[in-house]
Amino acid sequence: MSASPPLAHAVETAVPADAADVADLADELARGLRQQRVLPYVGPGALALCGGPAVPADPAALAAFITARVTVPHKIRGRLTQAAQFIENFKHRKSLVALMNEAFAATPEPSALHRALAAAAPPMIVSAWWDDTLAAALRGHGPTPWGCVQGLSQTEHFGRWTGAFDAAGQPVQTIPADWRTLLYQPWGAHAPAGNYLISDTDFVEVLTEIDIQTPIPLEVQALRRDRGFLFLGMRFDDQLTRGFARQVMKRSCDRHWAVLPDEPTRMERRFLQEQNIQRIACPLAHFAPLLEQALQRQPV
C-alpha cells in the first residue's frame, strides 16, 4: 500500500448539470478508484442503500436510541455527544459502551455500492460511522488481505490513539505489508472490540491533538498522500464531521468529490470551497449504480 501520483486530469469544479455529466464523472472516479488515485470516505448516509437489519443511521436516530434507554436531561436529549457524556458521567463508561454495542449489534446487508468499493480494493477506505457494513463487505469479497485501524477513547485507552485488527478481528501491533485495503475508522466501530469515540470528552481529547496529526496513524498519513477523497453518504453540517474530514485529507491531493444532493448549508458551502471538494448534486441512490457499473467496466 504505497502512495501514487496525483490525478492527471482533475474533473471540472462545476456541479454536473445533467445525467450525462454525472455519468461521465462516475466513469472518471471509477478510473481513479481502480488506479488507486481516489479513496472512498463513507458516512452513515450510505446505510440507506442497505437491506437487512437496520441500525441508527444519523446522529438524531442514535441519540434517540440511547436516550430511550437511559433518562437524560430534556435539553440535551437530541444532542448525541452531550447525551453520551451525561450517560458516561452518571451511569459509567461501561453503560455507554453497552448502549453503543446494542445500537450496532446488527450488521446491515452490504449494498451493491459497499460491495463494489470492497471489490475495487482501494488502499484505504475511511468509514465515519460505527456500523460494521464495510467490514462485512470486505469479508464477503473473499481472501483479499485487509484489516482495520480504529480510533480509541482516551477514557478507556489512555495514551493510545488507535488500535489495529486483522480481518479475523485479532489485534495486531503493526500493519502487515500484505494488507491490500486498510479500513480506517477514526471514530471507532462496533466490531471487533466495541471501540467508540462518542462522548464530548472522547472528541475533545482527539480534537486537541488532531491539528498536529497525533491521533492519525502514520499508515493513514502515508496512504492519503497525493490521493483524492470521494465522500459518499456524508454531510458536513456539523463541526465534528468537518473537523475530522479536514484533518484526514491534510496533505492529500488538492481535488476531492462529495455526493451531496441537498442544498449545502452556509458552513458546508464554505467547507467545500476551502477544501476544494466538488459537489455532485444528485442523490446517492442515483449516483451509486453509475459508479458500480463504471467500476465493473474498468480493468482490474
pLDDT at 300: 67
CA distance 259 to 1: 26
277 lies in some domain: yes
CA distance 298 to 28: 10
Q: What is the pTM of this model?
A: 0.92
8 lies in some domain: no
User: Do residue 81 and residue 201 come from a single domain?
Assistant: no
Residues 6+ apart with CB under 8 A from 247: 210, 211, 213, 216
pLDDT at 297: 87
54 lies in some domain: no
Report the DSSP beta bridge partners of residue 256. 277
131 lies in some domain: yes
| Matching residue, cell 437511559 | 70
**Domain that includes residue 76, residue range:** 59-103
Amino acid at 54: A
User: Do residue 76 and residue 147 come from a single domain?
Assistant: no
pLDDT at 18: 73
pLDDT at 16: 52
Q: At 51, is the secondary structure helix, strand, or coil? A: strand
User: Do residue 86 and residue 167 come from a single domain?
Assistant: no
What CATH number is attached to the domain comprising 239? 3.40.50.1220
| Alpha-carbon distances, residue 233 vs 36, 114, 280, 288 (angstroms) | 20, 11, 12, 10
249 lies in some domain: yes
152 lies in some domain: yes
Q: Taking the C-alpha atoms of 179, 192, 154 and 86 in order, what is their torsion angle to the nearest 10 degrees?
A: 140
| Contact present, 135 and 109 (Cβ < 8 Å) | no
6 lies in some domain: no
Nearest CA-CA partner of 112 in 300, 296, 297, 298: 296
User: Do residue 96 and residue 133 come from a single domain?
Assistant: no
User: Do residue 146 and residue 223 come from a single domain?
Assistant: yes
Ordered per-residue pLDDT tens for the chain, 300 residues: 544 433 433 333 444 557 778 999 999 999 999 999 999 999 999 999 999 899 999 999 999 999 999 999 999 999 999 999 999 999 999 999 999 999 999 999 999 999 999 999 999 999 999 999 999 999 998 777 999 999 999 999 999 999 999 999 999 999 999 999 999 999 999 999 999 999 999 999 999 999 899 999 999 999 999 999 999 999 999 999 999 999 999 999 999 999 999 999 999 999 999 999 999 999 999 999 999 999 998 876
User: Do residue 36 and residue 138 come from a single domain?
Assistant: yes
User: Do residue 141 and residue 214 come from a single domain?
Assistant: yes
User: Do residue 255 and residue 158 come from a single domain?
Assistant: yes
User: Do residue 88 and residue 190 come from a single domain?
Assistant: no
Question: Quick one: how far is CA 298 from the chain centroid?
Answer: 24
Instruction: Count structural domains, the chain.
Output: 2
| HSE value, Cβ hemisphere, 13 Å, CA-based, for 172 | 17
CA distance 160 to 173: 12
Q: What are phi and psi of 114, to 5 degrees?
A: -60, -45
pLDDT at 12: 34
User: Do residue 70 and residue 194 come from a single domain?
Assistant: no
| Matching residue, cell 480481518 | 167
CA distance 108 to 185: 17
Residue 195: count of CB within 10 angstroms of its CB? 24
9 lies in some domain: no
User: Do residue 65 and residue 135 come from a single domain?
Assistant: no
CA distance 30 to 41: 14
User: Do residue 258 and residue 287 come from a single domain?
Assistant: yes
